């Protein structure tokens, strides 16, 4: 098993510290749960280097949401990407079972600028994710203003916009793995024709050559199920999309959360190998038996 989606800091923590000891604690928790390797994947928007990319992105949006996003960036974008990558590289060089990653949020029509920024870093894996539609943070369950927009928005339209964003993100070729592929269900709202959206999401992953993650994080949200849903997971497997596994932990207590349940889901759809990454090149590792090395792909 893998845990290829880990954050070093909770979202409510603006000023962060970099600690090799913290990474070692993450690795110990993962190993105890039978996880062979972890990826550190902090959000790109936590770093000051993201600010030129996002400049002007929300200028045409609803004024209240635009102001909310400005506050969001002021809170989060305070840290240095170079220092983060140096920490992850030091952890990897020390022999910890770590790969250097980043969660790259979708920036509409600006993924080429994201690719230019990240090209100079020694990343092993880049996760692609969609957390906002325009300036609407549809998954920010702790923000009443953004959650209230669900009652004002047509659910089918929200899903259509989300799937379109995933399709653009996947087609950009910027990232390697689609994170929490059906995240738009997080608040518990499902569209009338769910399977049509599943088909498009699975096709976006397959046609782009990207992998997708199977994540336990959804079990802690209103949707109360893993990402992706079983029907979408089956479609990914049918189309030959490679998989990683993940907890999306923001602290050591959630590292490798419900890894056994994820293993059972994989067995249920006939998946025996996951994809791990080094230098953004995928190789296969067995779902079980962490002492065995996988075949290169």
Beta-carbon contacts of residue 184 (< 8 Å; ≥ 6 apart)? 130, 138, 139, 158, 159, 162, 163
Beta-carbon contacts of residue 288 (< 8 Å; ≥ 6 apart)? 1, 263
Per DSSP, the residues of 174-225 read --SEE-STTGGGTTS---TTHHHHHHHHHHHHHHHT-EEEEESGGGGSTT-S
Specify which residues 214 forms β-bridges with: 245
Residue 294: inside a domain, yes or no? no
* pLDDT tens string 149-204: 998 889 999 999 999 999 999 999 999 999 999 999 999 999 999 999 999 999 99
Residue 292: inside a domain, yes or no? no
- Angle ∠(63,127,164) on CA atoms, nearest 5: 50
Which helix (H) or strand (E) is 151 found in, with range? helix 144-152
- Looking at residue 289, what is its pLDDT? 55
Length of the chain measured in residues: 297
User: What is the pLDDT tens value at each position of the chain, 297 positions in all?
Assistant: 999 999 998 888 877 788 999 999 999 999 999 999 999 999 999 999 999 998 898 988 899 999 999 999 888 899 999 999 999 999 999 999 999 999 999 999 999 999 999 999 999 999 999 999 999 999 999 999 999 999 888 999 999 999 999 999 999 999 999 999 999 999 999 999 999 999 999 999 999 999 999 999 999 999 999 999 999 999 999 999 999 999 999 999 999 999 999 999 999 999 999 999 999 999 999 998 544 333 322
For the chain, the average pLDDT equals 94
Residue 212: inside a domain, yes or no? yes
CATH of the domain at 60: 3.20.20.140
pTM of the shown model: 0.95
Counted domains in the chain: 1
Residue 51: inside a domain, yes or no? yes
Q: For residue 251, how many C-alpha atoms fall within 13 Å in the half-sphere facing its CB?
A: 5
Q: How many Å apart are CA 190 and CA 210, to the nearest integer?
A: 25
Considering only CA atoms, which of 182, 229, 230 is closest in space to residue 205?
A: 182
Gap between the terminal Cα atoms of the chain? 17
Q: What are the Cα distances from residue 243, in Å, to 30, 236, 288?
A: 18, 9, 14
Q: How many Å apart are CA 295 and CA 51, to the nearest integer?
A: 40
Residue 293: inside a domain, yes or no? no
Domain ranges, residue 249:
2-286
- Looking at residue 152, what is its pLDDT? 81
Which DSSP letter does residue 39 get? E
For the chain, strand residue ranges (E) read 2-6, 37-43, 98-105, 125-129, 177-178, 211-215, 243-246, 273-278, 281-286
- Looking at residue 173, what is its pLDDT? 95
In this structure, are strands 211-215 and 98-105 parallel, antiparallel, or unpaired? Answer: unpaired
């Amino acid at each position: 098993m893998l845990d290829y989606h880990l954050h070093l800091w909770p979202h409510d923590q603006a000023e962060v510290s970099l600690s090799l000891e913290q990474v070692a604690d993450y690795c110990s928790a993962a190993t105890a749960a039978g996880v062979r390797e972890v990826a550190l994947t902090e959000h790109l928007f936590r770093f000051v280097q993201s600010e030129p990319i996002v400049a002007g992105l929300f200028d045409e949006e609803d004024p209240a949401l635009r102001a909310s996003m400005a506050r969001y960036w002021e809170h989060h974008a305070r840290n240095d990407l170079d220092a983060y990558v140096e920490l992850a590289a030091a952890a990897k060089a020390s022999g910890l079972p770590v790969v250097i990653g980043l969660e790259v949020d979708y920036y509409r029509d600006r993924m080429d600028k994201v690719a230019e920024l990240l090209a100079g870093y020694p990343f092993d894996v880049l996760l692609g994710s969609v957390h906002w539609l325009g300036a609407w943070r549809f998954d920010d369950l702790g923000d009443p203003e953004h959650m209230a927009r669900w009652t004002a928005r047509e659910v089918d339209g929200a899903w259509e916009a989300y799937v379109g964003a995933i399709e653009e993100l996947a087609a950009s070729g910027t990232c390697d793995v689609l994170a929490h592929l059906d995240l738009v269900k997080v608040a518990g709202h499902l569209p009338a024709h769910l399977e049509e959206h599943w088909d498009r999401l699975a096709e976006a992953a397959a046609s782009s050559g990207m992998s997708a993650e199977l994540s336990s994080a959804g079990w802690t949200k209103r949707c109360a199920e893993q990402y992706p849903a079983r029907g979408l997971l089956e479609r990914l497997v049918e189309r030959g999309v490679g998989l990683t596994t993940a907890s999306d932990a923001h602290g050591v207590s959630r590292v490798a959360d419900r890894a056994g349940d994820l293993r059972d889901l994989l067995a249920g759809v006939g998946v025996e190998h996951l994809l791990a990454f080094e230098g953004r090149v995928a190789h296969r590792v067995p779902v079980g038996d962490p002492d065995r090395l996988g075949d290169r792909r």
